[in-house]
Amino acid sequence: MEKISCLMMGNQAIVRGAIEAGVKVAAGYPGTPSSEIIDTLSKTAPDIYTEWSVNEKVALEVAAAGSFAGLRSLAVMKQPGVNVAADFLMHLALSGTRAGMVLVAADDPGALSSINEGDTRLYSKLMGIPLLEPGNFQEALEMTKWAFELSEKLKSLVILRTVTRLSHASGNVITGEIKKEAKKAYFEFNGNMLDPLTGIVTTIPVSVKHSLQHEKLQQAGEIFESSVFNTYVGPENPELLIITSSICNLYAKEAVDVLNLDSKVAILKLGTTWPLPSKLIQACIQKTKQILFVEEIQPFVEENIKVLSAGFPDKFGPKAYFGKLSGHIPMTGELNPDLVIKSLEQIFTLELRAFSSSYKKKADKTLENCTPAREISFCPGCPHRASFFTINKVLKLDNRNGFTCGDIGCYSLGILPGGFSTIKTLHAMGSGTGLASGFGKLSQFGMDQPVISVCGDSTFFHSGIPPLVNAVHNESNLTMVILDNSGTAMTGFQPHPGLSTGTGGEPAPEVDIEQVCKAMGAATCICDPFDLKKTENILLELLKKKGVNVLILRQICTLSPEKKGKKYFNILIDEQKCKGEDCGCNRICTRIFSCPGLIWNKEKNKTMINDILCTGCGVCTQICPADAIKAKAC
Amino acid sequence: MISKKLKHDPYNLIITGVGGQGNVMSSRIIGNMLSSSGFYVTIGETFGASQRGGSVMSHVRVSSKNVLSPQIPLGMAHMVVSLEPVEAIRVLSSYGNPDVKVICNTQPTHPIGVISGRLDYPSQEKIEKSLKDLSSRTWLFNATNIAMGIGDPIFANIIMAGALSAAKELPLDKNNFKTSMETQFSADKIKQNLMAFDHGINMVNSQ
Amino acid sequence: MTLLGPEELSQQVLDKGLCTLCGACANLCPYIKAHNNKIITLFTCDRTQGRCYAHCPKVGIPLKNISQSYKAQSYTENPIGKFIKIVKAKKGRNASEGNFQNSGVVSSLIIFAMEKELIDAALLTGTQGIKPVPVLARDKDSVLECAGSKYIASPVLSMMAEISDSGVEKLGVVGTPCQITALSQMRQNPLELDDFKDHTTLSIGLFCTWALDSEKFIQYLSKRTDISSIQSMDIPPPPAEELIVKLENSVKKFPLQEIRKFKLPGCEICADMTSELSDISVGALEGFDGWNTLIIRSKKGERLVNEAVEQNYIEIGSLPDRCFDNLLKGAGNKKKQAAQKCRELGMLDDDFNKPASLNGRQTITGIA
Ligand SMILES: Cc1cc2nc3c(=O)[nH]c(=O)nc-3n(C[C@H](O)[C@H](O)[C@H](O)COP(=O)(O)OP(=O)(O)OC[C@H]3O[C@@H](n4cnc5c(N)ncnc54)[C@H](O)[C@@H]3O)c2cc1C
Ligand code: SF4
Ligand code: SF4
Ligand code: SF4
Ligand code: SF4
Q: What pLDDT, in 10s, does the model give residues B31-41?
A: 989 998 889 99
User: Which residues 31-90 on chain B approach chain A with CB closer than 8 angstroms?
Assistant: 31-32, 35, 40-50, 52-55, 67-76, 86-87, 89-90
The pLDDT value recorded for residue A438 is 97
The pLDDT value recorded for residue C60 is 67
Say which residues have a Cβ less than 8 Å from residue B28's Cβ, sequence separation at least 6.
Answer: A7, A170, B43
* Integer Rg of chain B from CA: 16
Q: Is the pLDDT of residue B186 over 90?
A: no
**What is the Cα–Cα distance from C101 to C106, expressed in whole angstroms?**
9
The pLDDT value recorded for residue C70 is 44
Say which residues have a Cβ less than 8 Å from residue A265's Cβ, sequence separation at least 6.
Answer: A234, A235, A238, A239, A240, A241, A242, A256, A344
The mean per-residue pLDDT over the stretch C100-118 comes to 95
**What is the Cα–Cα distance from A140 to A168, expressed in whole angstroms?**
12
Contact across the interface for C40 and A396, Cβ inside 8 Å: yes
**What is the Cα–Cα distance from A268 to A286, expressed in whole angstroms?**
12
Span A268-281, pLDDT tens digits:
999 999 999 999 99
Torsion sign across C-alpha atoms A42, A43, A45, A47: positive
The pLDDT value recorded for residue C130 is 86
Identify whether A78 is part of a domain: yes
Q: Is the pLDDT of residue C72 over 50?
A: no
Name the average pLDDT for chain C: 88
Identify whether B1 is part of a domain: no
Give A507's DSSP letter: B
**What is the Cα–Cα distance from C65 to A541, expressed in whole angstroms?**
45
Q: Is C67 in the pocket of ligand 1 (CB under 6 A)?
A: no
The mean per-residue pLDDT over the stretch B8-35 comes to 89
Task: Tell me: do A11 and A101 sit in the same domain.
Answer: yes
Q: How far is CA A95 from the centre of its chain?
A: 27
**What is the Cα–Cα distance from B200 to B142, expressed in whole angstroms?**
10
Identify whether A248 is part of a domain: yes
**Which atom of ligand 4 is nearest the CA belonging to A585?**
3
**What is the Cα–Cα distance from A435 to A445, expressed in whole angstroms?**
16
The backbone torsions φ and ψ at residue C255, rounded to the nearest 5 degrees and listed phi first, read -65, 135
* Nearest by Cα to B154 from B12, B23, B27: B23
**What is the Cα–Cα distance from C47 to C39, expressed in whole angstroms?**
18
Provide the shortest C-alpha distance from residue A453 to chain C (in Å). 20
* Nearest by Cα to A150 from A141, A138, A139, A158: A158
Task: Tell me: do A110 and A241 sit in the same domain.
Answer: no
Burial A476-499 (b: 16+ CB within 10 A, else e): bbbbbbbbbbbbbbbbbbbbbbbb
Lowest mean pLDDT among A249-258, A368-377, A399-408, C232-241: C232-241
Residues in chain A with CB shorter than 8 Å from the CB of B121 are 372
* Confidence category of residue C364, pLDDT binned at 50, 70, 90: very low
Span A499-534, pLDDT tens digits:
888 888 888 999 999 999 999 999 999 999 999 999
Ligand approaching nearest to the C-alpha of A380? 2
Identify whether C12 is part of a domain: no
Span C228-249, pLDDT tens digits:
888 888 887 777 788 888 888 8
Torsion sign across C-alpha atoms A130, A136, A138, A141: positive
Task: Tell me: do A459 and A524 sit in the same domain.
Answer: yes
Domain hosting residue B78, numbered range? 11-205
The pLDDT value recorded for residue C324 is 93
Task: Tell me: do A391 and A482 sit in the same domain.
Answer: yes
Q: How far apart are the first and last CA of chain C?
A: 41
Asked if residues A588 and C43 have their Cβ atoms less than 8 Å apart, the reply is yes
* Confidence category of residue B1, pLDDT binned at 50, 70, 90: very low
CB atoms within 10 A of CB A608: 15
Contact across the interface for B52 and A362, Cβ inside 8 Å: no
Torsion sign across C-alpha atoms A166, A167, A168, A169: positive
Asked if residues A586 and B101 have their Cβ atoms less than 8 Å apart, the reply is no
DSSP element (H, E) containing A369: helix A357-370
Torsion sign across C-alpha atoms B200, B201, B202, B204: positive
Task: Tell me: do A335 and A313 sit in the same domain.
Answer: yes
DSSP element (H, E) containing A154: helix A137-154
B55, B93, B121: residue with CB nearest A364 = B93
Task: Tell me: do A573 and A513 sit in the same domain.
Answer: no
The mean per-residue pLDDT over the stretch A407-424 comes to 90
What spacing in Å lies between the alpha carbon of C207 and ligand 1's midpoint? 7
The pLDDT value recorded for residue A489 is 64
The pLDDT value recorded for residue C366 is 35
**What is the Cα–Cα distance from A100 to A89, expressed in whole angstroms?**
15
Task: Tell me: do A188 and A309 sit in the same domain.
Answer: no
The pLDDT value recorded for residue A485 is 86
The pLDDT value recorded for residue C76 is 56
Ligand approaching nearest to the C-alpha of A570? 2
Span C272-322, pLDDT tens digits:
999 999 999 999 998 888 899 999 999 999 999 999 999 999 999 999 999
Q: Is the pLDDT of residue B49 over 70?
A: no
Contact across the interface for A397 and C46, Cβ inside 8 Å: no
Q: How many domains does chain A have?
A: 4
Asked if residues C123 and C174 have their Cβ atoms less than 8 Å apart, the reply is yes
Give A414's DSSP letter: G
The pLDDT value recorded for residue C332 is 87
Contact across the interface for A596 and B90, Cβ inside 8 Å: no
Identify whether A559 is part of a domain: no
Q: Is the pLDDT of residue A166 over 60?
A: yes
CB pairs under 8 A between A and C: 65
Give C354's DSSP letter: P
Say which residues have a Cβ less than 8 Å from residue C340's Cβ, sequence separation at least 6.
Answer: none
Identify whether C295 is part of a domain: yes
Beta strands A265-270 and A231-233 are antiparallel
The mean per-residue pLDDT over the stretch A344-373 comes to 85
Q: How many domains does chain B have?
A: 1
CATH number at residue B31: 3.40.920.10
DSSP element (H, E) containing C87: strand C85-91
**Which atom of ligand 5 is nearest the CA belonging to C26?**
8
Provide the shortest C-alpha distance from residue C50 to chain B (in Å). 19
Identify whether B3 is part of a domain: no
What string of DSSP letters covers A518-532? HHHT-EEEEE-TT-H
**What is the Cα–Cα distance from B43 to B64, expressed in whole angstroms?**
15
Q: Considering only CA atoms, which residue is closest to atom 4 of ligand 3? A: A587
Identify whether A204 is part of a domain: yes
What string of DSSP letters covers C101-137? SSS-HHHHHHHHHHHTTS-SEEEEEEEETTEEEEEEE
The pLDDT value recorded for residue A630 is 95
Name the average pLDDT for chain A: 93
Compute the CA torsion angle A262, A266, A272, A274 (nearest 10 deg): -140
What spacing in Å lies between the alpha carbon of B157 and ligand 2's midpoint? 24
Residues in chain B with CB shorter than 8 Å from the CB of C367 are none
Burial classification of residue C295, based on how many CB atoms lie within 10 Å of its CB (0-12 exposed, 13-18 middle, 19 or more buried): buried
Q: How many domains does chain C have?
A: 1
The pLDDT value recorded for residue C360 is 45
Q: Is A580 in the pocket of ligand 2 (CB under 6 A)?
A: no
Span C6-50, pLDDT tens digits:
999 999 999 999 999 999 999 999 999 999 999 999 999 999 999
The pLDDT value recorded for residue C359 is 52
Identify whether A361 is part of a domain: no
**What is the Cα–Cα distance from A239 to B123, expressed in whole angstroms?**
53
**What is the Cα–Cα distance from A248 to A254, expressed in whole angstroms?**
10
Q: What is the largest CA-CA distance in chain B?
A: 55
The pLDDT value recorded for residue B149 is 93
Beta strands C251-255 and C242-247 are antiparallel
CATH number at residue A113: 3.40.50.970
Q: What is the largest CA-CA distance in chain C?
A: 75
Q: Is A607 in the pocket of ligand 3 (CB under 6 A)?
A: yes
Burial classification of residue C359, based on how many CB atoms lie within 10 Å of its CB (0-12 exposed, 13-18 middle, 19 or more buried): exposed
Say which residues have a Cβ less than 8 Å from residue A145's Cβ, sequence separation at least 6.
Answer: A17, A18, A20, A21, A176
The backbone torsions φ and ψ at residue A498, rounded to the nearest 5 degrees and listed phi first, read -80, -5
**Which atom of ligand 2 is nearest the CA belonging to A596?**
8
Task: Tell me: do A479 and A545 sit in the same domain.
Answer: yes
Boundary-marking domain end, from A224, A242, A262: A224
The pLDDT value recorded for residue A354 is 61
What spacing in Å lies between the alpha carbon of A271 and ligand 5's midpoint? 69
Torsion sign across C-alpha atoms A178, A184, A185, A190: negative
Q: Is the pLDDT of residue A371 over 60?
A: yes
**Which atom of ligand 5 is nearest the CA belonging to C21?**
7
Select, from the ranges A44-48, A201-205, B51-55, C364-368, the one with the highest average predicted confidence (pLDDT): A201-205
Q: Considering only CA atoms, which residue is closest to atom 5 of ligand 1? A: C208
In the beta sheet, which residues pair with residue B80? B14, B102
Give C18's DSSP letter: -
**Three-class DSSP category at A255:** helix
**What is the Cα–Cα distance from C111 to C170, expressed in whole angstroms?**
14
Identify whether C175 is part of a domain: yes
Q: In what order do the strands lie in the sheet with C251-255?
A: C230-234, C242-247, C251-255
Cα dist from A119 to A126, A144, A295, whole Å: 12, 19, 11
Identify whether C231 is part of a domain: no
Domain hosting residue A278, numbered range? 231-348
**What is the Cα–Cα distance from B169 to C201, expressed in whole angstroms?**
78
The pLDDT value recorded for residue B47 is 61
Task: Tell me: do A64 and A176 sit in the same domain.
Answer: yes
Identify whether B4 is part of a domain: no
Task: Tell me: do A399 and A322 sit in the same domain.
Answer: no
* Confidence category of residue A327, pLDDT binned at 50, 70, 90: very high
Identify whether B118 is part of a domain: yes
Span A288-320, pLDDT tens digits:
999 999 999 999 999 999 999 999 888 888 899
Span C142-183, pLDDT tens digits:
999 999 999 999 999 999 999 988 899 999 999 999 999 999
For ligand 1, pick from C101, C144, C160 the residue to mutate: most ligand atoms within 8 Å of CB: C101
Task: Tell me: do A460 and A513 sit in the same domain.
Answer: yes
Domain hosting residue C174, numbered range? 76-213+263-333
Asked if residues C149 and C172 have their Cβ atoms less than 8 Å apart, the reply is no
CB atoms within 10 A of CB A510: 13
Identify whether C23 is part of a domain: no
Q: Is the pLDDT of residue C347 over 90?
A: no
Lowest mean pLDDT among A339-348, A395-404, A409-418: A409-418
**What is the Cα–Cα distance from A572 to B65, expressed in whole angstroms?**
55
Q: Is C106 in the pocket of ligand 1 (CB under 6 A)?
A: yes
Q: How far apart are the first and last CA of chain B?
A: 34
Residue A450 corresponds to which amino acid? P
* Nearest by Cα to C335 from C85, C86, C77: C77
The model's pTM is 0.91
Task: Tell me: do A448 and A484 sit in the same domain.
Answer: yes
The mean per-residue pLDDT over the stretch C49-53 comes to 95
